[in-house]
């Protein structure tokens, strides 16, 4: 990363994830981009803090904490739960009349106005919760599934994050005045291509939809190449 970045990329993780999910991104993206992983309460370096269980209050905290960091051009990325957080933060920024992201990059999430027809998860008993979560998103590490100790540590974080997602209620509003890139894995059973394309209703600007090989947690290399190309373009446009 350059000493004086030209663009910041704020990155929001999936449910149960932390800032470490983006550890390799700084070296994979252009040197003029500063990768800013968002560490949510309840995990990794913020493990001692209680996690949020409701989306609106979490977005309130995000908006307050990140306000001083919008002094240069920026983009926002979010995967799955992180996509909802990224989208609602961008809506908040527009409502407040603040500078908008040069790109809003969302992955692994259907459009926000399409309701989930699957039943709620966060209050299920442990075994049923883990089994259903793994069935829907197919991303639970084997070492997690086979370790009661890891389960005891991470289940409360996962439950809280799923509660955040399940507390979400879409409210009609003006489409965003920023370009949007949406992505999903071809084999992602939680997000169909039509549900991905439905994001186009939520921006007035350029819209790009991408499918990559893989499932909900598809390999990151093609996504990072896409992000790199579009952030390079943003740097060029912003001089």
Does 179 fall in a domain? yes
C-beta of residue 111 within 8 angstroms of C-beta of residue 203: no
Q: What is the pLDDT of residue 1?
A: 55
Does 58 fall in a domain? yes
Does 220 fall in a domain? yes
Q: What is the pLDDT of residue 136?
A: 83
Sheet holding 74-79, edge to edge: 33-37, 7-12, 74-79, 103-107, 180-185, 207-212
C-beta of residue 206 within 8 angstroms of C-beta of residue 179: yes
pTM summary value? 0.94
Give me the residues paired with residue 210 across strands: 183
Per-residue HEC secondary structure of 86-146 comes to: HHHHHHHHHHCCCCCCCEEEEECCCCCCCCCCCCCCCCCCHHHHHHHHHHHHCCCCHHHHC
* CATH code of 24's domain: 3.40.50.1820
Cα-based torsion angle of the residue sequence 139, 226, 26, 8 in order, rounded to the nearest 10 degrees: -110
Segments in the chain below pLDDT 50: none
Overall number of domains in the chain: 1
Does 89 fall in a domain? yes
Of 69, 51, 54, 62, residue with least CA distance to 92: 62
- What tokens appear for 79 in the block? 């995967």
**Domain membership of residue 32 as a residue range:** 7-237
Whole-number Å distance between alpha carbons of 199 and 183: 10
Residue 80 known to be catalytic: yes
Considering just the CA atoms, what is the radius of gyration of the chain in Å?
A: 17
Does 50 fall in a domain? yes
Does 228 fall in a domain? yes
Question: Within a 10 A sphere around the Cβ of 169, how many other Cβ atoms?
Answer: 9
Provide the sign of the torsion angle of the four alpha carbons 83, 88, 94, 98, taken in this order. negative
Does 189 fall in a domain? yes
- Name the catalytic one among 20, 48, 80, 135: 80
Does 205 fall in a domain? yes
State pLDDT tens for residues 190-212: 899 999 999 999 999 999 999 99
């Amino acid at each position: 990363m350059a000493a004086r970045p030209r663009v910041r990329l704020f990155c929001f993780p999936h449910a149960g994830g932390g800032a470490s999910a983006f550890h390799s991104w700084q070296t994979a993206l252009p040197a003029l981009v500063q990768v800013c992983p968002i560490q949510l309460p309840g995990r990794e370096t913020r493990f001692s803090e209680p996690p949020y269980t409701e989306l609106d209050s979490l977005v309130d905290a995000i908006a307050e904490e990140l306000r001083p960091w919008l002094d240069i051009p920026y983009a926002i990325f979010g995967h799955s739960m992180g996509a909802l957080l990224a989208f609602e933060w961008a809506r908040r920024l527009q409502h407040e009349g603040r500078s908008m992201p040069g790109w809003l990059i969302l992955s692994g999430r259907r459009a926000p106005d399409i309701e989930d027809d699957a039943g709620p998860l966060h209050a299920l008993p442990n075994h049923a919760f883990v089994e259903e979560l793994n069935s829907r998103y197919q991303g639970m590490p084997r070492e997690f599934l086979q370790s009661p100790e890891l389960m005891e540590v991470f289940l409360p974080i996962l439950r809280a994050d799923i509660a955040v997602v399940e507390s979400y209620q879409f409210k009609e509003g003006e489409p965003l005045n920023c370009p949007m890139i949406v992505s999903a894995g071809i084999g992602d059973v939680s997000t169909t291509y039509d549900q991905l394309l439905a994001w186009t209703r939520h921006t007035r600007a350029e819209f790009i939809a991408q499918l990559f090989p893989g499932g909900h947690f598809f390999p990151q290399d093609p996504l990072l190449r896409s992000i790199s190309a579009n952030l390079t373009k943003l740097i060029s446009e912003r001089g």
